[in-house]
Amino acid sequence: MTGFGLTASAILRKSGEQFFWALLGQCPFGFDGAIAGPTRHDKDETMSRRCELTGKGPMSGNNVSHAKNRTRRRFLPNLNDVTLQSETLGRGVKLRISAAALRSVDHRGGLDAFLAKAKDDELSVNALKVKKEIKKAQVTA
């Protein structure tokens, strides 16, 4: 291990046990050599306080007292767990959306019409899957 300029114990401390065994090429517990780090999914947040259809999330601001004292606070969106019916798919879709988004869905004429006009970057991963399913069902029908 002198070619790397590190001792085996330094590699273990610095990079983790998987990296050490990958360098040796003889892992005792069947490690194949592929080093997998932690993955990060930008939109796949299951319990975030974000509307799945509009992307509306928490905002920050101030509580202002009568004496004009300001303390920081968060304004959270009014999220509700709802099951919206898709006419094209013929089934319900469970989503966590804001009250304003629910009114927008109703105004546009249902979930299918809302998702047809919605921008993909505002939709959650779950809503994008539903949108693709609806498009696919409309093409085949």
Domains and CATH numbers, the chain: 1-34 (no CATH), 59-140 (2.30.170.40)
Residue among 60, 80, 78 nearest 70 (CA)? 60
Higher pLDDT: 11 or 117? It is: 117
pTM across the whole model: 0.64
| Degrees, nearest 5: CA angle 75-81-87 | 125
pLDDT at 13: 53
Least confident of 5-14, 40-49, 56-65, 80-89: 5-14
Question: Would you list the DSSP string of 64-78?
Answer: E-TT--EEEEEE---
H-assigned helices in the chain: 8-15, 17-24, 99-108, 111-117, 125-140
Average pLDDT rounded to a whole number, residues 46-73: 94
Mean of all residue pLDDT scores within the chain: 82
pLDDT at 39: 45
